[in-house]
Amino acid sequence: MAELQRPDVRWHASFLSAMQEFRDEGRARPGSMLGEDLLEHGPTWSTPAGFAAYVAQVRREAVAPRDDFVPHTTWWWIDGGEYIGRIDLRHRLTERLREVGGHVGYDVRRSRRREGHATAMLAAVLPHARARGIADALLTCDVGNLASRRVIEANGGRLEDRRGAKLRFLVGTGQVTSPSGRPPWAAAHEDYGEGGTCHGLPSPPGGGGPAVRGAARSWRPGEGRGTGPGVGGWPGRTHRPESTP
Ligand SMILES: CC(C)(COP(=O)(O)OP(=O)(O)OC[C@H]1O[C@@H](n2cnc3c(N)ncnc32)[C@H](O)[C@@H]1OP(=O)(O)O)[C@@H](O)C(=O)NCCC(=O)NCCS
């Protein structure tokens, strides 16, 4: 079963083949986190040392983001050792991100699309947003990006408005239900800023969201979570919009 994992050198080969798929569809261009990474870091990925340095930097961005970024956590979606895609959670919004970008951005490698991965990946990240105090995540997508829109709506996203070529949605991340006022799984989220993985993270009340490849499809939007605003976008950068092909 696919799961969130913090970036790690273990998936080097699979990561490289996925990045080639993104290159082949023309994603190596400015305007998205993935595109920027392909351009800026891609040439370093082929060697173990270069890839390790990249992984370390991505993990560091949760606490020490590069210029123009807000702190953001990146996970990779791993299925049986295969890199399927990536998803980022921005820890806070700027004025610009409130307009375009939002809290969450994601990409799935072309060869594994339409299997429910993005839907499941977003569902898996919402509890992390909740643990960071984000009750309603803001997600944005291009008006014509039907796939992304369906991913957001499958996770309970409610259309807020349209601003130019972008749709803005709010996705509820759920309710705090424990007597202490903290969800029982919150502690698991609190120390993974730079390290750790989400592996083994307890599921939120009501389940961990949609599964993929049929089984996961037994999940229904909104189960285990409240409704409300949610978000999408590309991770971290404060002044540049997400590009959605
Ligand atoms: C958007 C993206 C992440 C979707 O990933 P995915 O794993 O294929 O998404 P899912 O399999 O969870 O599909 C979600 C829904 O969209 C539908 N869908 C997927 N691709 C579609 C397409 N090209 N056209 C229309 N609908 C599509 C699926 O059928 C599914 O609908 P359903 O739940 O009613 O069956 C992927 O297409 C991608 O990486 N695109 C490029 C980057 C991008 O646009 N990121 C989002 C930025 S906001």
Domains of the chain in sequence order: 3-218 (3.40.630.30)
Helices (H) and strands (E) in the chain, counts: 7, 7
Question: Between 237 and 169, where is the model more confident?
Answer: 169
What is the whole-number distance in angstroms between the Cα of residue 182 and the centre of ligand 1? 33
Is the Cβ atom of 148 under 6 angstroms away from ligand 1?
A: yes
pLDDT digits (tens, 9 = 90+) for 188-218: 343 333 332 222 222 333 333 444 443 333 3
CA distances from 27 to 42, 102, 187 (A): 12, 20, 36
What is the whole-number distance in angstroms between the Cα of residue 113 and the centre of ligand 1? 7
Q: How far apart (Å, rounded) are the C-alpha atoms in residues 122 and 230?
A: 10
Q: Relative to the CA of 108, which ligand 1 atom is closest?
A: 39
Q: Relative to the CA of 154, which ligand 1 atom is closest?
A: 33
- At residue 141, the pLDDT reads 97
